[in-house]
Amino acid sequence: MRIGIDARKLHDFGIGTYIRNLLRQLARLDRDTEFVVLCRPDDREAMVLGENFRTVSESAGNYSVAEQLKIPLALKREGVTLFHAPHYVLPPLVGCRSVVTIHDCIHLMFPQYLPNRFALAYARTSIALAARRATRIMTVSESSKRDILRLVDAPASKIDVIYNAYDERFGVEPREQDVLRVRERFQLHDPFVLYAGNVKPHKNLERLIDAFHRLRARGLDQVKLVLIGDDISKYAALRRAVHTHQLHQHVRFLGYMPEETLAALYRLAGVFVFPSLYEGFGLPPLEAMASGTPVVTSNVSSLPEVAGDAAVLVDPYDPDAIADGIQRVLTDETLRADLKRKGLARAKQFSWDQSVRRIREIYTEAGR
């Protein structure tokens, strides 16, 4: 069996984390199977996995017409017998057996966040085709499985739930000097609330900024808000929200951070807040829990499933509820200690090693 894996989204937030850990664990677990990894030309040299892994440059854009033609051609040229599409695009011309990971159904549930009608049609058609044509479907939570069954014509027996896990670097305590270096670099001397993830509309950051304004109005005016994410210039609404509440001196947009820096930021934060309206899994709260940081997150979608009893769950549509959750954590030392203890224990229940072992089993089952 020669397995092809599409790694073009290697640097995305959620799917990128999935792909990086999938490849890393496969390289540890399987030294015999031939793997063909389709990746961006710039990623080829850095992707050192093992002698049984071969990288192939593929420049077709994600969610493009080009990928519908170029991916099948590359798979045929490389003699791939089983293809893993780690997101919902499985081109119809793919001639070999295939498995697909559908992380969530956000584009079907929140079409207003897509740029145009073509994007919605592309997403709807791609998910339906992938679900119908793939030999097996994997998803990352029971919540996502329910959404797939409700929105896509696929039998439950075809869908396997395999949880994500946190990157192992978040479970290792950074050196004290590295944490202090990050504190000094970003001048984080006041207590702060941390958010990490992308800044797309469903992440609900406008309501988080509103909640932060209400928190300060309650007397917690020494607290800052630090947002880690992608290019903020793409979402002018967040800048407007900061301007509306006159929070320019109290809200920091730090952009993308490497995992080593993010690990230190988690440990410096007073609380991690993730008020997303919808998640297939929700990795950042798990990363924060693995770092010993108390978490406030949403009581919707997959987030209660991931967090269990190790986080404060709030209504993400209510800024006052978000502010209440943050205030409870920042002002109650007993609660903070309890959340840290429970969070560390909860995070240990998720393992990339176990998850990728199951994915590898599905490769074998689907390839028969």
pLDDT of residue 64: 85
pLDDT tens profile 88-122? 999 999 999 999 999 999 999 999 888 888 889 98
Between helix 333-347 and helix 283-290 the angle, nearest 10°, is 110
**Same domain membership, residue 180 and residue 158:** no
Whether 272 and 295 have beta carbons less than 8 Å apart is answered as: yes
Structural domain containing residue 117: 2-165+351-366
**Mean model confidence pLDDT for the chain:** 94
Structure tokens at 267: 């440990």
pLDDT of residue 231: 66
- Residue closest to 256 by CA, chosen among 227, 228, 284, 288: 228
**Same domain membership, residue 234 and residue 154:** no
pLDDT of residue 232: 66
Give percent of the chain above pLDDT 90.
85
**Same domain membership, residue 233 and residue 126:** no
Structure tokens at 42: 């710039």
Start-end of H helices in 228-278: 236-244, 259-268
**Same domain membership, residue 143 and residue 26:** yes
pLDDT of residue 70: 96
Whether 84 and 75 have beta carbons less than 8 Å apart is answered as: no
Q: Is the pLDDT of residue 233 over 70?
A: no
Q: Is the pLDDT of residue 13 over 90?
A: no
Domains held by the chain: number: 2
**Same domain membership, residue 75 and residue 207:** no
**Same domain membership, residue 108 and residue 82:** yes
pLDDT of residue 200: 87
**Same domain membership, residue 10 and residue 154:** yes
pLDDT of residue 230: 74
13 vs 16, residue with greater confidence: 16
**Same domain membership, residue 284 and residue 246:** yes
Q: What is the mean pLDDT of residues 273-292?
A: 96
**Same domain membership, residue 333 and residue 260:** yes
**Same domain membership, residue 220 and residue 153:** no
**Same domain membership, residue 190 and residue 177:** yes
pLDDT tens profile 247-269? 999 999 998 888 899 999 999 99
pTM: 0.92
**Same domain membership, residue 194 and residue 47:** no
Whether 286 and 164 have beta carbons less than 8 Å apart is answered as: yes
The pLDDT confidence band at residue 272, using thresholds 50, 70 and 90, is very high
Q: Which of 51-65, 130-144, 273-287, 346-360 bottoms out in mean pLDDT, i.e. has the lowest? A: 51-65
SS3 per-residue string spanning 27-88: HHHCCCCEEEEEECHHHCCCCCCCCCEEEEECCCCCCCHHHHHHHHHHHHHCCCCEEEECCC
CATH of the domain at 241: 3.40.50.2000
Whether 283 and 277 have beta carbons less than 8 Å apart is answered as: no
Q: CB under 8 Å to 116, separation ≥6 — which residues?
A: none
In angstroms, how far is CA 259 from the centroid of its own chain? Answer: 13
pLDDT tens profile 137-191? 999 999 999 999 999 989 999 999 999 999 888 989 999 999 999 999 999 999 9
In angstroms, how far is CA 184 from the centroid of its own chain? Answer: 28
